[in-house]
Structure 1
Amino acid sequence: MVVAAVFALLARVIRQPLIPAYIFAGLVIGPVLGLITSTHVITTLSEIGIAFLLFVAGLEIDINRLRNVGFVSTLGGTIQVLTIFTLAFILALMLGFLSIEAIYVGLIIAFSSTMVVVKLLSDKRELDTLHGRIMLGILLMQDIIAILALSMLTTVNGFSGTLLGLSLLKGASLFVVAWLTSRYVFPQVFKFAAKSRELLFLLSIAVVFAFAALFNAINFSIAIGAFVAGVTLGNLTYNIEIISIVRSLRDFFATIFFVSLGMELLLDPLRSMIAPLIIFVLIVVLVKPLVTMFVCAFFGYKRRPSFIASTSLAQVSEFSLIIVAQGLTLGHIGRNMLSFAVLLAIITITLTSYLSTYEDFLFKKLSRYLKPFDRFSEEGGEALEYIPKKRRKQHFILLGHNRIGYSISRTLRKMKKELLIVDYNPEVIKRLIREKIPCIYGDVGDIEILERLNLKYAYMIVSTVPDKADSLLLIKKTRLVNKRAIIIVTASQLEDALKLYDTGADYVIMPHFLGGEHVSVMIEDFTGNVNKMIETKVKHIEELRHRQNLGHEHPKHH
């Protein structure tokens, strides 16, 4: 752990992901220096690490994420996984891998890293953007498929229809038990346990080991049992508290797992696998994003959110490493395959961090070559918009019809102002078209879209998109043709807000600060006036229920 801590600190200093650092630490203390030769204890602890990783993954699963981006996450995510798996499987066979090895290669390539992507999105405060929701939806679907694959691999050696059916029946029975306990037993038990943080911790750990033991008893992986335990407890009111108290334990065992992967690396056999390694790195960072872009574009998303989502998913998943580690335990593959997978993960995860950092730069350079992807919209290439023929010259433009934008839109329409809405979520635009509200499907950062907005005649332009680069482009483009327009933009950081003011913004919305100011005004109004407070509460509850029906959610903090 000392060596892992040193490598983690170095990775943090040079702003690199921690997972490759842990793997390198294992490589140093194992194959390179030979400080640890007996890996039995480490292997046992790493299996527990896998279980805790999947337990917390189950706790954090939010089915609503699938609903938020509809078919692109469920059907689209499934198509993406199957396509990548098939391509990688066929290519592996062509390169001389055995059939069982080719299956594992397909699984390694097919999945992307939830851990890495969530970290990258959190660092850039993009978890609640459209491309962020698309990625999280696809990743959730991938995690579900990965769990199914993990459970199926245990039946490969003695595969038969009867054995598979019996295995699935046993698994289904335990899932029913899990559902019944989560609905009728755990709510009351954890309500009592929640009074003590220590008792809540012990009970949560007990549930993990109980489910792991049950699944192990029917020859399923303990990791699957831990995942089911997480999903079971994830529906409870106390899931946030459970996550907070087990996260440190999860991180400890997860670190051991990734260190153990480094210790399992065999460097000599990799010399004969350099060519396949290079080929599959290119598959992950070039072909995989291309397939993902086609999937996103097919489901109606423009090239920018499709591109950003695709490049951020261009890596190998920690789930892939878990699957390979399981394959090694089952005797399906040798340590050379594990070494191959670990090195592939190190390279692609590192490359993804750079792709994510420079995604805006890359998109601007490649944007004109990506235009064909816009033709794959659900409307058969037709413009997804509603613009009345008769329009006044002085109009209002709203960029982003999200939670903030919805309130602004409603107010402007009540004021009978001529409004044009721009949003890059096709579902939002379709709803606006049905309501006969003027709208254009497009991205704020797309110069072609900005040129179509008649910025010269706009009276007021409001952007609720908290992207500094897009806001700067909007301000500069508007000020070139319209010095009088009122420009209101949004920022999530103080430095960005000040920069936007310097560039020419008339007002910068900072949602978190506005919330505090609003509550301060409410306190002044409510003091000595209980009836007004009750009236405001009733209206707020009605508004929240209305927003819930529209699918709006408050941003989650990770």
Structure 2
Amino acid sequence: MITAHTVFNETAALLVLGAALGFVGQWLRQPLIVAFIVAGIVAGPDVLGVVSSAVHVQVLGELGVAVLLFLVGLKLDPGLLRTLGPVALVTGSAQVLLTALAGAGVALALGMPVRTAAIIGLALTFSSTIIVIKLLWDKGEVDSLHGRLALGLLIAQDLLVVVLMGLLAGLRGESQGGLWQALVGGLVLLATVLLFTRYLAQGLLARMARSPELLVTFAVAWAALLAGLADALGLGKELGGLLAGVSLASTPFREALASRLASVRDFLLLFFFVSLGASLDFGALQGSLWPAIGLSAFVLIGKPLIVLPILGLAGYGRRTAFMASLTLAQISEFSLILLALATQAGLADPATQALVTLVGLVSIGASTYLVTYSGAIYAFVEPLLARVMGDQARRHAPSEAPPPADVILFGLGRYGTAIAEGLRSRGLSVLGVDFDPEMVARWRARGLPAYYGDAADPDFGKSLPLGGAQWVVCAIPVHGGSLTHDDPRLALVDALRNSGYRQQIAVAIQAQEDLPALRGRDIDLVLLPMADAAAEAVDLITGAPLVAPRRWS
């Protein structure tokens, strides 16, 4: 006898549906997150009813969240956390307060009772750590200043939401000591992680690294363990997964772990986004269309507009502030948990919970596009921002004036560093520029001049000593490889030429297919790292030059 609904069959159906809609989304050039959420809606009980019990989907999705935050933790620099932490806590608290008040005002204007409006205002305040980090990771911007600033704000939000959840649990009457348990448990968990990092992490991973499979298994198990412990203490799985990654960030195995776990993360996160779509209850949304549109508009537009001036007052440049604020244009899974607790405590009803769930799905889907095309959006609104917001950034990372140099090099990764060493051996002075503060710190620790900067910022070139530079070399290792309309390499070339720089520019690309995109720009030299290395190898073997440099005027 054939059983239609089994866990295996349901999981297989979800994978096929996710792959099919993901392919359609890719063909339509839409973000995969949106395709996977749509897959969840289609698979949910109100459409196909593929999933009769979402427990296994939810478990796999939560494991994906733990792995995602683990990988983020692997990349965190403790020094940067000490720098951004206090700022993020202050600005995050201000953002939560102002957004909650504004959100409650919008709900009141939509005709909701005062108590319901207050609960909705709080729920709309918080943004999704998982969604934001996934989007930034896909764009290769986790290490940028605005990416790390957004992460700091999200962590501050998560800490504040723990307090609110404890208070709501107390009102529900089931957990009077929930808040104190979370605070004490958090301190114990943090102390445990610090001791593990100090005394066990390096030696344990050195032994496990002899077997790559065991290393990956341990990493996933460690992330799941700390996520489970943090969740049991009322801190949320996200914080536990993040701490698991931080505990291994100082070991020499973090790059190997990051590369091996990337595909595991992407596979498991499919289930998280599918479960989000499947959770939408269409039956509870009768008459909620206009309130959902109004609240979604507030989340997508109002929240960034609230965060933007706060970050500007905190000392961040307008581009950094804009890009960080735009990432917060959605609500969090914690928002849904807050609504569930409020409903259980008698402060909200199921219709309000369904309304906020719909706002969550709309804002998550729309914010995916906002973050994906944030560069183009900033270019469009920058003239207006320049009129109302100054750009005297005090927090652009280490900020002394950059020294003059013969060559200004963007991108301080392995390829950029190799270029710099070769140029220095020829007697040329090199100023390194990168949007990763950790890379800047590493260069400075070696005694090399380095400066923090974002190549995609059209105003950044004004702060550089372009007058004495013979060359500007762009060796940015852009995530995804191929050139796009808002690629930082193209933005850098345009900004340099528009600012009056008339000396020579070199740009590194990943493939020959990107050459046509550069022909319309004033570039003097194109670098193809892999092809150039192969050509040099052939030269060494045969003793004769194989190809000429790719120059055009």
Aligned-partner SS, 1:508? strand
| Structure 1 match to 2:366 | 351
| Structure 2 match to 1:464 | 474
Q: C-alpha offsets along residues 50-107 of structure 1, whole Å, 9 cap, x if unaligned?
A: 2441244134315645745985x43443344333322332244342367588456535
2:103 is aligned with 1:85: no
Aligned-partner SS, 2:366? helix
User: Alpha-carbon deviation of 1:46?
Assistant: 0.7
Question: d(CA) in 2 for partners of 1:213 and 1:451?
Answer: 47
**Unpaired segments of 5 or more residues in structure 2?**
1-13, 477-487, 543-553
Aligned-partner SS, 2:168? coil
Question: d(CA) in 1 for partners of 2:528 and 2:417?
Answer: 13
Aligned-partner SS, 1:156? helix
Specify which of 363, 366, 387 is matched with residue 381 of structure 2.
366
| Structure 1 match to 2:25 | 11
Aligned-partner SS, 2:470? strand
Question: d(CA) in 2 for partners of 1:30 and 1:521?
Answer: 60
8 A contact 2:410–2:473 mirrored in 1: yes
365-374 or 218-227, larger mean C-alpha shift = 218-227
Specify which of 522, 526, 533 is matched with residue 508 of structure 1.
526
Alignment of 1:430-469 (within 5 A): 446=458, 460-464=470-474, 467-469=488-490
Aligned-partner SS, 1:257? helix
Question: d(CA) in 2 for partners of 1:107 and 1:187?
Answer: 41
Look up the equivalent residue of 1:171 and give its one-letter code. Answer: G
8 A contact 1:50–1:322 mirrored in 2: no
8 A contact 2:316–2:394 mirrored in 1: no
8 A contact 1:321–1:342 mirrored in 2: no
87-96 or 299-308, larger mean C-alpha shift = 299-308
Specify which of 69, 85, 101 is matched with residue 74 of structure 1.
85
| Structure 2 length-normalised TM | 0.68
Question: d(CA) in 2 for partners of 1:104 and 1:448?
Answer: 39
8 A contact 1:112–1:139 mirrored in 2: no
| Structure 2 match to 1:552 | none
| Structure 2 match to 1:111 | 127
| Structure 2 match to 1:328 | 340
8 A contact 1:20–1:350 mirrored in 2: yes
| Structure 2 match to 1:192 | 207
Question: d(CA) in 1 for partners of 2:227 and 2:401?
Answer: 54
Specify which of 272, 288, 294 is matched with residue 257 of structure 1.
272
8 A contact 2:284–2:351 mirrored in 1: yes
| Structure 1 match to 2:185 | 170
8 A contact 2:69–2:242 mirrored in 1: yes
Q: C-alpha offsets along residues 493-531 of structure 1, whole Å, 9 cap, x if unaligned?
A: 54445544564422234566667788999999xxxxxxx
Alignment of 1:378-457 (within 5 A): 398=408, 404=416, 446=458
Cα 1:453/1:57, change in 2 over 3 Å:
closer
Cα 1:48/1:517, change in 2 over 3 Å:
same
Question: d(CA) in 1 for partners of 2:229 and 2:452?
Answer: 54
Question: d(CA) in 2 for partners of 1:362 and 1:36?
Answer: 38
User: Alpha-carbon deviation of 1:409?
Assistant: 12
8 A contact 1:396–1:459 mirrored in 2: yes
User: Alpha-carbon deviation of 1:369?
Assistant: 1.6
8 A contact 1:50–1:223 mirrored in 2: no
Cα 1:63/1:450, change in 2 over 3 Å:
closer
| Structure 2 match to 1:57 | 69
Alignment of 1:483-502 (within 5 A): 485-491=503-509, 494-497=512-515, 499-500=517-518
Q: Name the count of aligned residue pairs.
A: 496
Aligned-partner SS, 1:49? helix
Cα 1:334/1:222, change in 2 over 3 Å:
farther
Question: d(CA) in 1 for partners of 2:203 and 2:259?
Answer: 20
Question: d(CA) in 2 for partners of 1:481 and 1:35?
Answer: 60
| Structure 2 match to 1:538 | none
Question: d(CA) in 1 for partners of 2:244 and 2:436?
Answer: 35
Question: d(CA) in 2 for partners of 1:93 and 1:143?
Answer: 23
| Structure 2 match to 1:532 | none
Cα 1:272/1:82, change in 2 over 3 Å:
farther
Look up the equivalent residue of 1:9 and give its one-letter code. Answer: F
8 A contact 2:57–2:271 mirrored in 1: yes
Question: d(CA) in 1 for partners of 2:469 and 2:243?
Answer: 55
8 A contact 1:300–1:426 mirrored in 2: no
Cα 1:169/1:424, change in 2 over 3 Å:
closer
Specify which of 198, 222, 227 is matched with residue 183 of structure 1.
198
Specify which of 30, 33, 47 is matched with residue 33 of structure 1.
47
